[in-house]
A and B are shown apart, each in its own frame.
Chain A
């Protein structure tokens, strides 16, 4: 069966460091992959999208990589800030099928 795994339920880092979150999947061939941010009591908000034929995508302090051989995406936040503290979800999309990982809760300490 399809499986989407995100590394560790929680990740704590110091302000200014780079946060790296992992999304691994099995038994799935996504056309593209998305990352979302979710704050407590709110719905997820879209951050970045990367297609199957792209290796890397950047947006301001965010960087996403996508390795379809390893079946893995890495999500980086550089120069992290306490305001980056939230849960980050990866979503795999094929045609109109969109499935989410369980998320990683990131805490950036000042």
Chain B
């Protein structure tokens, strides 16, 4: 596609349920990031994928959070047993490898998750 696509755009779920958030990066981009943004806050790093390398999971806040990237393209962020504090906008970004020092990250519109 022309840009990074995220789905759903909005998700309301009951506390304790599992949710899956999807990200379709720009074709050919090898790097993919997930961030979380709470209301009025900055972007909190969650996880990073680069090609076939092991992902950097250092930002995942708990073991309820996991992510995978199939075939080096689409990524899914899964939150198990959701809690109210998980409510936020989840942003996905993709880029050519940033280590090339001349690239930018392209963001999707985000998924607004509300846990009730």
Interface residues of A (CB under 8 A from B): 6, 9, 31-32, 34, 41-46, 49, 51, 89, 91, 93, 95-103
Please classify the interface of chain A as helix (H, G, I), strand (E, B), loop, or mixed, using the class held by over half of its residues: strand
Closest 7 pairs between A and B when the two form their complex, measured CB to CB: A43-B107, A102-B42, A46-B104, A100-B43, A96-B98, A44-B107, A95-B99
Which residues of chain B (63-80) have a CB below 8 Å from chain A?
none
Interface residues of B (CB under 8 A from A): 4, 31, 33, 35, 40-43, 45, 48, 50, 56, 91, 93, 97-99, 101-102, 104-110
Task: Pick from B42, B48, B109: contact of A96, CB below 8 A.
Answer: B48
A43 touches B93 (CB 8 A): yes
B108 touches A101 (CB 8 A): no
Residues of A within 8 A of B93 (CB): 43-44
B48 touches A34 (CB 8 A): no
**What is the chain A residue whose CB lies nearest that of B108?**
A43
A97 touches B107 (CB 8 A): no
Residues of A within 8 A of B42 (CB): 6, 89, 100-103
Which of B40, B43, B50, B101 counts the most A-chain CB atoms under 10 A from its CB? B43
